[in-house]
Structure 1
Amino acid sequence: MARTEHSRRTNTRGDRRRLSQNFLTDRAWARRVVRVAGVGPEDLVVEVGPGDGAITRFLAPAVRGVLAYEIDPRLAERLSARYRDPASGVRVVRADFTRVRPPRGEFHVVGNIPYARTADIVRWCLGARSLSSATLVTQWEYACKRTGGFGRWSRLTVATWPEWSWSLAGRIDRRRFRPVPRVDAGVLVLRRRRTPLVDPGRMGGYRRMVELGFGGVGGSLGASLRRAHPARRVDRALARAGIAPDAPVGHVAPEQWLEAFHVLDT
């Protein structure tokens, strides 16, 4: 009997590592994640990886409905039992979140997501046309990288900036999770802009400029842009945006990219 119990516990730990599961155990932080998300009684929330329901507990009474996707069959069964009453507004689905279709109407995403699936989950969110916002607990380094926290900006953030805002809403000590991960977590918030900063008809040109800029020539944005634009126009765009002539691409803030684009695209 003891051997069976030991095997069960060993398998559970193995599943958690395989599924990249680190459960948030701090109730105050779980409540804060929901508050940061800014969701209300009229909202539908898709929760990614609810796990043992730490965040679900605070989401359920705050919104119209929660659609919780959990890939772990044991956790999905346990959470379904807890919210078996339809009046709870929580529907638990055992599925891989990245393989499901987004709801047709407006919705929000909230979740303490598996670190190993962060890129896939963010990609899904950016591609969901009805998504209004996503509040995700990710690795601290990832959250900083996407929000300029290290003094650098990533290609993904710059490319999507006209349509999405990226912000960092806090750092969670790694000891607030079980099992304890190797790094702290960050609360990453994406919000779709109601009015894009670039006209939809010009977004293709903006993205091409970003790809060109991050293409890499001499390590600077100016050198990269001169491959496709006259040097004088590039110099004028950089000056208008307050970008140093030799500024590395990653050090240029999204707002500066937008200003440079408006000059180059005229």
Structure 2
Amino acid sequence: MTSQLLGPAEVRSLAERLGIRPTKRLGQNFVHDPNTVRRIVRAAGVGSDDVVVEVGPGLGSLTLALLPAVAHVHAVEIDPVLAAQLPATAAERAPELTGRLSVVAADALHVTAAKLVPPPTALVANLPYNVGVPVVLHLLAELPGLRRGLVMVQAEVAQRLAAGPGSRAYGAPSVKLAWYASAKRAGAVPRAVFWPVPNVDSELLAFIRREPPTGERETVFALVDAAFASRRKSLRAGLAGWFGSPSAAEEALRAAGIDPSARAETLGVAEFARLAEGRAGAGRSGGRRDPRPSAEGTGDSR
């Protein structure tokens, strides 16, 4: 079974018929190149047993490429006009595959596992420019069956998410994704395959889920945020507020086997988890607890 993919003329014609003008607010840049969507499906490594969640399907270019390759696609679309049109596009261009498609008209940042049945095993998406990082982190937190993914994001965001300790691009998003998965950059995507043409470069980012470190995720993420908020300072100075004083921070860092003069960008996720666990132990012993909530996402966008 196959589907008829959308080319540049079909994308523009469909958008015109629907009265759709891509908006920066929703981060909309539609892929109109069939070779690109085929490439994404191949690179994602999905197969006939996979259930895919696709965020921001737009006019359906990638959706139509996914349907013949997988068992089911959950297309999560925030734009009500696009969400309403997608089943009709699938029925017209892949009539034998419409039973594999579910459209969820919702903000991906509010999607829960209960809304996606059968449960997704993979994330494959051309993510909206403005919410790439928080969407990936939210779905990995919310969907335990999500084993791998391939997403198209701003090149700068792909660099951040795949960065390792010590690199210039390494930051809080890098650590948070590393909590869930190993990630790597999977190739550049030309600007010309989008409509409208974006003013930024795009890249593919691949990830595979792994077991997280020991510890409480919210506490670790809050510690990561605190550490990178003062990334130019030593950890002893930057985490003084978190631990109650510079001397308390130094004591905790040494107990975790971390040099107090080191900076946040030198620590891997396992070291952050070890440091957070030490502070949690202090809290159980009556030590000071930080009341601030942890942020799952970040302000980084593409």
- Pairs within 5 Å for 1:195-210: 195-196=211-212, 198-200=213-215, 206-207=220-221, 209-210=223-224
- Pairs within 5 Å for 1:173-192: 173-192=190-209
- 2:127 aligns to what? 113
- 1:52 aligns to what? 59
**2:60 alignment partner, SS class:** coil
* Selected match of 1:100 from 100, 103, 111: 111
- 8 Å contact kept, 2:29–2:197: yes
Name the % identity: 31
- 8 Å contact kept, 1:109–1:134: yes
Q: State TM-score, norm by structure 2.
A: 0.67
- 1:237 aligns to what? 257
**Unaligned 5+ runs, structure 1:** 1-7, 240-244
- 8 Å contact kept, 1:152–1:252: no
- 8 Å contact kept, 1:139–1:186: yes
- 2:159 aligns to what? 144
- How far residue 236 of structure 1 moved from its aligned partner, in angstroms, is 8.5
* Selected match of 2:150 from 135, 138, 144: 135
- 8 Å contact kept, 2:123–2:149: yes
- 8 Å contact kept, 1:214–1:221: no
- 2:101 aligns to what? 90
- 1:242 aligns to what? none
After superposition, the CA RMSD in angstroms is 3.6
- How far residue 55 of structure 1 moved from its aligned partner, in angstroms, is 1.4
Whole-Å Cα distance in 2 between the matches of residues 52 and 205 of structure 1? Answer: 39
Return the letter of the residue paired with 2:207.
L
- Pairs within 5 Å for 1:25-104: 25-84=32-91, 85=95, 87-88=97-98, 89-102=100-113, 103=116
- 8 Å contact kept, 2:220–2:273: no
Q: Deviations over 1:113-134 (max 9, x none)?
A: 2112324423421321322233
Query: Bigger CA drift: 50-59 or 148-157?
Result: 148-157
**Unaligned 5+ runs, structure 2:** 1-14, 241-245, 282-302
Return the letter of the residue paired with 2:157.
Y
- 1:124 aligns to what? 138
Return the letter of the residue paired with 1:59.
L
Whole-Å Cα distance in 2 between the matches of residues 82 and 148 of structure 1? Answer: 38
Q: Deviations over 1:68-93 (max 9, x none)?
A: 12333443344312323464412334
Whole-Å Cα distance in 1 between the matches of residues 74 and 32 of structure 2? Answer: 21
Q: State TM-score, norm by structure 1.
A: 0.75
Whole-Å Cα distance in 2 between the matches of residues 65 and 156 of structure 1? Answer: 29
Over 3 Å counting, the alpha-carbon distance change for 1:68 and 1:255 in structure 2 is closer
- How far residue 206 of structure 1 moved from its aligned partner, in angstroms, is 4.6
- How far residue 154 of structure 1 moved from its aligned partner, in angstroms, is 1.6
Whole-Å Cα distance in 1 between the matches of residues 231 and 64 of structure 2? Answer: 50
